[in-house]
Amino acid sequence: MSFFTSQMRSAFSTSSCLLHIQTCTRLRVVDNSKIGKEAMQAGKPPKVIHVYNKKRKADLGDRVLMAIRGEKKKGVVVGAKHKVQEVLRPRFDSNNVVLIDDSGNPLGNRIYVPLPMSLRAKKDQYNKLISIATRFV
Amino acid sequence: MASWSLTQRGLSRGLRLSASMHASYGRRMTSSLPEHLRKALAYSAMYPDLLPEPDLTRRNYVREMLERQDMLSRRRAIDIPEFYVGSYMSITVSDQNAPGKKNTFVGICIYRRNHGLRHQMALRNIVENEGIEMLYDLYSPIILEIKVLRLQKRLDDDLRYLRDALPEYSTVPWDMEPEPHREQGSVPVDETRVIMKPRPWTQRWERKELKGVKEWGLEDRFFKRAVEVSKPWEKYDLMKEYRCMVPLEDQYVVWKEVEEHRKTIEEEHKRSRRRKLLDA
Amino acid sequence: MAIPPLKIAHRIRPKSMKLRCIQEAPGRVEKLRVMLGGLIRHERIELNSHRAAETRDYAERLIQDAVLYGPHHKRSMEMASFWLKEKELVHKLFKVIAPRLENETRGFTKIWVLADPEKTSYEPGGLPGVHYKNDWVALEIKNNPLPPIRPNPTPHRSLYIPNLLLAAAAASIA
Amino acid sequence: MVKKATIFMKFVNGQVSRGYCVNRITLTNREVIAKRNALFSEEQERQAALVRRVEKIRVKYTGIPKECTMVMNKSISTPADCLRHLPERMLQLSVLAYVNGEPWDMSKPLEEDCELNFAHFKDFDPRKLLTVNKAFWRSCSYLLGFAIERSFKEDHRVLLHSWPAPQIKSGSFVYDAVLPLENWEPNDRELRALGNPVRKLQPEKASFERLEVEPALAKEIFEDNPYKHSVVDSFAESTENKKVILYRCKDHVDISRGPMIGNTGFIRDFGVASVHAFETGIGLVYRFQGIAYPSAFTMSPFALGVLRDRAKIMNTTGLPNELNRAPGDSKSESTTEAEVPDTDDENEQTTQAHKAAQ
Amino acid sequence: MSGLLTRLFSSQLQISCSRLAPLAGTQCVQHLQIREKSTKPKRRKVHPFHWWAPKNRADMSEDLLTEKNQVFLQQVAERIYLAPGESPLNEEPWPIGTYQEGSRRTGIIAKKIGVVPMWLKSGKRVLASMLHVCEQNVITYMDPETYARTRFGFRGKGHGCLIVGAESRDPTRFRQEYLDLFKESGVAPKKKLTKFLVTPNAALQPGTPLFAGHFKVGNYVNIYGKTIDRGFLGAKRRWGMKGGRATHGTTKNHNRMGAMGGPRGRILKGKKMGGHDGQERRLLVGVKILRINYKHGVIYVRGPSVMGEIGAFVQIYDALIPEKRPKEDNMPPFPTYFPAETDPLPEDVFDETVHPFDAPSIEFEQEVQVKRKLKVKARAKAAGKR
């Protein structure tokens, strides 16, 4: 897609102003799952279509449902650029997501970015995901 | 010490004496500031957290005194070294989730905010090509250690524009060793000027009068607009300036306590720090 | 920048000047410059109380800096030359007014509520009564050469009956 | 005597019992008051009738807001009349008149071309201020007598004795009186009730009227009061024209040298603080002490409490011989005032002010 | 007051004024009034009750006292009134009551001076409101019978009433009616007067000073005060309504509340609209005391929601709900704290859950120990179930 060239990027904003992760937010897939890689390379990052909590705003460790390359996939938010910074909650430069299946296992087998330490509190849910992570902050 | 004894007299007698004191100084020492003023300036940069909130409607002297006592007693329990926005630091905290129950973060201090026990600082670093920031309460008891890896200032007092600069400007090596610095004398200023990423940015940085940016990568129309919306008279607004500062007389109360604290506690901390360095 | 406290009761928050020009912020600065220039030039000006209160704060800060740091201090000079458009007023501030107010301990300026001229003529130096123009005051720099606005209204206070009685009571206890 | 009786009957129409007899030796308080008042009125009318032809005088007013000259009636117009031609605020303020630089009662008619000025409680001239203060204190003493005479029931015959020269620093104004009571100790309520007649007078703004009479008439007026009666002659001798000066406020007549304040509206918080009995050659004399302050001032209740408590202590002004004073030696206000040595601070300040003026 | 003053003068001048002894007893007739209560609820009462003693003098402009005389009046006030902390009058000290089940102590007056963060031992950050206990004394005590006869006495339900005053002020500022309220206690006239309901065994002698030692760390208290006065606000700021659009042709509709109509063309009662906001009396129930600085008299209660601005007066008294009433293991002094030189209070006391600032940093235990603790907990649970 030539639409997303570097010259054009200054002309209009894509999703950088979306500081909350909510419906219609575009996320960055940070694992090496096939579908995720393809989506990112094609310049069509996944879009949130549902957040699995009552607030409808995803924080670190929350599950989201995404539309990715014509499919519905679930993912875990592992990084967010929060508008309001909180003590001891890492603020990432991008909104990161790791794709998972229904049972909570990641689709890929490698994660490229550090994960937040608070994710380790949910060890029983994301044991596999935590074990393939290389680094925590 | 002569200047401090003068200050103490000023404190005890209130405004009247200090006014005449300033008047006499004003006449004699025009080229260089008197020592107590210079000291106050240095301390307010060194310990911005110890100053009370300048909003007059919210000030209370009993609260400020008790808050300061708490801050100084926390500083006695743990070594909180002198640092500035732009210094490279490493902070270790207790963390229930971390292996070994300890979590360390290394980064460059990009801003400090709030007064008193609410004082907070933010560190920024690039880890595995991902920019990460951590915010800390300076007086939180879960902080185990604060190390200053490189004591320095930058050209600006707020480095939040590093979020939109190229990543190499906010990268601090994770295994950096603390650099020794001279105990006495002025703090070195790192005069690095950064190159910005192409827009979109988190804020319109071209309107902020930043000194530490080399290449903006913007068209002329942005700067024209920045000039249009700028408020050049604001830097001359004497009362605006006055309203967001703690008056000098109130600062002396703080710095008098800090002076004693430095003499007793911080000297000891410094000695132990030097010993550690030598051992390593 | 460390600033000594003002010796007057200043405004905690700035208030709107209610100017006719559309641009409030630059218009406000422009108006303040005019009033400050007038104050330094004439040493006493008449204006409405709200503007007098705003102008007074700025005048206090300017004179305080002039007294404290003198004409060789870069920032004080910069400020003075911004707020006082005419060069001779800057000179007057540093060379005439600042030395004169060097030992002043309770503020450098004063606001007088102007009294009803009829009423004051019955009681020489009497109390401020109805203002002869609504909300109209005089702002002046202290120790000026002009004749005083109001002489001491009660010069022989100790001879008033309540004071005589209380003084006698104090003497009887002592 | 017949004439006196007719006047009296006319004045107290319907209030006195039918069985009244002129030759009765003792009268009730009310009767005495009415009698004096009637005699005073009569004399006043008589003196007024003496002025047959109205002559004009030029009164030069030299005060604020501006100087002016008024054409007034000789021997009829008083400073109070002049005030009516000035702004109302002057009327509210002025306590005492000054004619040719001398204090002059507000109700005393002007006799010739003169310079007129007024003084008030916050005057700039310290000399005037002191005179005004003394006039205030004197008037308060006078009104204390007014209150004493009116406060007692008819079967208690009150004989007013005298009052000493005004001494503000003594903390209270004083009136001595002889009562047909033994060891009377008024309680707080009674003290408060004693001050009531004057407190009621305050909003009325009753003026003080001045009259110069022959000693014979003065003796007639005070024939029921042996103490006042005995003073008349010595008083008349001390004055220039050998006359006795009488003052009347409402219906109370008393001897005084003056000057008095313009009216009772200038008095605030009039109260009787205490009554002390002391033994003298004429028997038991009660000393009434009071406290008040000019209405030009405000005063906190706390400060007033301090002053009231001080006024409860016995005031020894005018009692030089250790409380032993025969009625014949009694120094009425006129004589005592001259004898008080000028050592107090007020007078010192006055002399300083004199020097400064020169 | 006048009696005290008389004493002062007479002692100096040695003239007896005993004849002017005050009246033996004041006789006043109690008028019982029965009024119909209005059905219209009154939301806010702005003015003080008409039966309160008028407080401040209206006009002080013509006092014109010299400085010397002002100082003299201050000196008199200092001499005749009790100093802060001084014992009350020379009458018999009242017996000190003992605690029984259901006893209710007096409260104290404090000033809110700010909100600061504190950290619990778990590392959690909590906010604490700082309440500065004012200089205060008991002014009067009304027994239950007398109190029941007053205007709002029916609310007391058999309780007596203690009136406490805080912050001494210059007596020359007040009217005589207000000064008379302080005759019984002999203390200087106070700026703030409040009423606390107490049981008769917790009655205190007028003039008794109250301190921060009245409470202990770990107690739960109720806090009563007035909220911040925000003046007249629109519906948007007062109730958080959405307002209108900022753009798209909107005129004069940015801050308006939108539709308010109800059924049958009328507006329902109690509809939220613009109006005066704040300055309302509110009660904060059962907040925990985390820390007390006895030296400076500052109480730290948990939570930032104490009502009022900084410098506002609040009343603190024991929590009334059964779970939070003072327990025997941490019973505060009854009826109040009387300072004793032999047994002074510590300077600064923290609750056991709070991390003191001079203690070393928090380090969490390793997981093995945590697991054992869990097991112990599980066992205890199981035991409880059985």
Q: In CATH, what number is assigned to the domain containing residue A40?
A: 2.40.150.20
Dihedral Cα E170, E172, E177, E179, nearest 10 deg: 40
Closest to E201 measured CA to CA, from E64, E100, E311: E100
Which of E10, E19, E172 lies at the smallest CB-CB distance from D302?
Answer: E172
**Average pLDDT per consecutive 10 residues, chain C (174 residues; last block may be shorter):** 82 83 83 96 91 94 92 92 95 96 92 69 47 76 88 86 96 88
Residue D48, phi then psi, degrees to nearest 5: -65, -35
A5 in any annotated domain: no
Q: Which two tokens stand for residue B2?
A: 């002569």
Which neighbouring-strand residues pair with E298?
Answer: E132, E293
Cβ of residue E171 closer than 8 Å to a chain D Cβ: yes
* Average pLDDT of every residue of chain B: 85
Cβ of residue D136 closer than 8 Å to a chain C Cβ: yes
pLDDT at residue C153, rounded to an integer? 76
A100 in any annotated domain: yes
Residues D59/D116, Cβ–Cβ less than 8 Å: yes
pLDDT at residue E59, rounded to an integer? 85
CB contacts, 8 Å: E114 with chain B? 58, 60, 63, 67
How close B217 comes to chain C (CA, Å)?
Answer: 31
Q: How confident is the model at residue E88 (pLDDT cuts 50, 70, 90)?
A: low
How close B13 comes to chain C (CA, Å)?
Answer: 12
Which of B11-20, C34-43, D220-229 has the largest mean confidence? C34-43
Closest to C60 measured CA to CA, from C113, C15, C5, C99: C5
Q: Which residue has the tokens 């911080």?
A: B266
Residues D279/D325, Cβ–Cβ less than 8 Å: no
d(C-alpha D268, C-alpha D261), whole Å? 13
In this structure, of A98-102, B6-10, E23-27, E258-262, the range with the lowest mean pLDDT score is: B6-10
Phi-psi region of B209 (alpha: psi -120 to 50; beta: other; left: phi over 0): left
pLDDT digits (tens, 9 = 90+) for B93-142: 999 999 999 999 999 999 999 999 999 999 999 999 999 999 999 999 99
Structural domain for A79, as ranges: 14-132
pLDDT at residue E42, rounded to an integer? 59
Domains of chain E: 67-230+277-350 (2.40.30.10)
Residue B50, phi then psi, degrees to nearest 5: -80, -15
Taking CB atoms and an 8 Å limit, are E66 and C163 in contact across chains?
yes
pLDDT at B4 over 50: no
Taking CB atoms and an 8 Å limit, are A93 and B131 in contact across chains?
yes
Query: Is ipTM > 0.85 here?
Result: no
Average pLDDT of span E310-328: 94
Q: Which two tokens stand for residue E163?
A: 């009136």
d(C-alpha E320, C-alpha B24), whole Å? 62
pLDDT at D176 over 60: yes
pLDDT at residue C149, rounded to an integer? 80
Residues B123/B162, Cβ–Cβ less than 8 Å: no
Per the structure, how many domains does chain A have?
A: 1
Three-state DSSP at E317 gives: strand
Residues 6+ apart with CB under 8 A from B235: none
Interface mutation target, options B117, B135, B164, chain A, most CBs of A under 10 Å: B135
pLDDT at D3 over 70: no
CB contacts, 8 Å: C163 with chain E? 64-66, 69
CB contacts, 8 Å: A17 with chain B? 200
* Average pLDDT of every residue of chain E: 84
| Cα atoms in the 13 Å half-sphere on the side-chain side of C149 | 21
Cβ atoms within 10 Å of B226's Cβ, excluding its own:
16
CB contacts, 8 Å: B71 with chain E? 357
pLDDT at residue B95, rounded to an integer? 94
* Residue D236 Cα distances to D35, D145, D208, D231, D246, angstroms: 22, 21, 21, 9, 11
Touch between D and A (at least 3 CB pairs under 8 Å): no
How close C161 comes to chain D (CA, Å)?
Answer: 7
A3 in any annotated domain: no
Taking CB atoms and an 8 Å limit, are C172 and E9 in contact across chains?
yes
Average pLDDT of span D205-232: 92
pLDDT digits (tens, 9 = 90+) for B132-191: 999 999 999 999 999 999 999 999 999 999 999 999 999 999 999 998 876 666 889 999
**What angle is formed at CA C165 by the lines to CA C163 and CA C170, rounded to 5 degrees?**
90
Domains of chain C: 25-173 (3.90.1030.10)
Q: Which two tokens stand for residue C25?
A: 């912020």
* Average pLDDT of every residue of chain D: 82
**What angle is formed at CA B141 by the lines to CA B139 and CA B144, rounded to 5 degrees?**
100
Taking CB atoms and an 8 Å limit, are D89 and C122 in contact across chains?
yes
pLDDT at residue E53, rounded to an integer? 86
A4 in any annotated domain: no
pLDDT digits (tens, 9 = 90+) for D70-127: 999 999 999 999 999 988 888 888 999 999 999 999 999 999 999 999 999 998 899 9
Q: Which two tokens stand for residue E385?
A: 């179930």
Q: How confident is the model at residue E156 (pLDDT cuts 50, 70, 90)?
A: confident
How close E25 comes to chain D (CA, Å)?
Answer: 12
pLDDT digits (tens, 9 = 90+) for E234-264: 999 999 898 999 999 999 999 999 888 777 7
Which of B95, B96, B198 lies at the smallest CB-CB distance from A9?
Answer: B198
A6 in any annotated domain: no
pLDDT digits (tens, 9 = 90+) for B29-65: 334 566 777 788 888 899 999 999 998 888 999 999 9
Average pLDDT of span E51-59: 86
Amino acid at E97: G
DSSP state of E354: B
Percent of chain A with pLDDT over 70: 86
d(C-alpha D29, C-alpha D180), whole Å? 12
Taking CB atoms and an 8 Å limit, are C161 and D294 in contact across chains?
yes
* Pairing label, strands E220-226, D208-213: unpaired
pLDDT at residue D103, rounded to an integer? 95
pLDDT at residue C132, rounded to an integer? 57
Taking CB atoms and an 8 Å limit, are B137 and E117 in contact across chains?
yes
**What angle is formed at CA C168 by the lines to CA C163 and CA C172, rounded to 5 degrees?**
150
Residue E27, phi then psi, degrees to nearest 5: -105, 125
Residue of E nearest to D183 (CA): E19
Percent of chain E with pLDDT over 90: 58
Cβ of residue A114 closer than 8 Å to a chain B Cβ: yes
pLDDT digits (tens, 9 = 90+) for A26-61: 999 999 999 999 999 999 999 999 999 888 889 999
**What angle is formed at CA D95 by the lines to CA D218 and CA D85, rounded to 5 degrees?**
105
pLDDT at residue C122, rounded to an integer? 55
pLDDT at E17 over 80: no
pLDDT at B1 over 60: no
Average pLDDT of span A70-92: 93
Question: E343 or C93: whose pLDDT is higher?
Answer: C93
Which of B130, B198, B202 lies at the smallest CB-CB distance from A114?
Answer: B130
pLDDT at D241 over 60: yes
pLDDT at residue E41, rounded to an integer? 54
Taking CB atoms and an 8 Å limit, are B22 and C67 in contact across chains?
yes
Neighbouring chains to B with at least 3 Cβ pairs closer than 8 Å = A, C, E
Q: Helices marked H in chain E — which ranges?
A: 2-13, 67-80, 144-148, 176-180, 235-239, 367-385
Percent of chain D with pLDDT over 70: 82
How close A24 comes to chain B (CA, Å)?
Answer: 19
Q: How confident is the model at residue B275 (pLDDT cuts 50, 70, 90)?
A: confident
Query: Is the peptide bond preceding residue D259 cis, with omega within 30 degrees of 0?
Result: yes
Taking CB atoms and an 8 Å limit, are B163 and A93 in contact across chains?
yes
| Cα atoms in the 13 Å half-sphere on the side-chain side of E66 | 18
Residue of B nearest to E129 (CA): B63
pLDDT at residue C121, rounded to an integer? 52
Residues 6+ apart with CB under 8 A from D282: D178, D227, D326, D327
Residue of B nearest to C10 (CA): B239
d(C-alpha D78, C-alpha E312), whole Å? 60
Taking CB atoms and an 8 Å limit, are E63 and D314 in contact across chains?
no
Touch between C and A (at least 3 CB pairs under 8 Å): no
Which of B70, B96, B143 lies at the smallest CB-CB distance from E364?
Answer: B96
CB contacts, 8 Å: B97 with chain E? none
How close E87 comes to chain B (CA, Å)?
Answer: 27
Domains of chain D: 56-120 (3.10.20.30), 136-207+260-357 (3.30.980.10)
pLDDT at residue E39, rounded to an integer? 55
How close C93 comes to chain D (CA, Å)?
Answer: 38
| Cα atoms in the 13 Å half-sphere on the side-chain side of B194 | 25
Phi-psi region of D193 (alpha: psi -120 to 50; beta: other; left: phi over 0): alpha
* Residue E15 Cα distances to A60, B193, D288, E162, E251, angstroms: 86, 89, 16, 38, 82
Residues E321/E285, Cβ–Cβ less than 8 Å: yes
pLDDT at residue B97, rounded to an integer? 93
d(C-alpha E293, C-alpha E244), whole Å? 49
CB contacts, 8 Å: A10 with chain B? 198-200
Amino acid at E191: K
Neighbouring chains to D with at least 3 Cβ pairs closer than 8 Å = C, E
pLDDT at residue C33, rounded to an integer? 95
Percent of chain E with pLDDT over 70: 82
CB contacts, 8 Å: D122 with chain E? 64
Q: Environment class of residue E331 by beta-carbon count within 10 Å: exposed (0-12), middle (13-18) or buried (19+)?
A: exposed
Question: D43 or D321: whose pLDDT is higher?
Answer: D43
Q: How many beta-carbon pairs under 8 angstroms link C with E? A: 35
A137 in any annotated domain: no
pLDDT digits (tens, 9 = 90+) for D23-43: 445 678 888 899 999 999 999
d(C-alpha A24, C-alpha A46), whole Å? 9
In this structure, of B155-159, C23-27, D239-243, D285-289, the range with the lowest mean pLDDT score is: C23-27
Q: How confident is the model at residue D351 (pLDDT cuts 50, 70, 90)?
A: very low
Residue B126, phi then psi, degrees to nearest 5: -105, 115
How close B130 comes to chain A (CA, Å)?
Answer: 6
Closest to A96 measured CA to CA, from A67, A125, A122, A59: A59
A86 in any annotated domain: yes
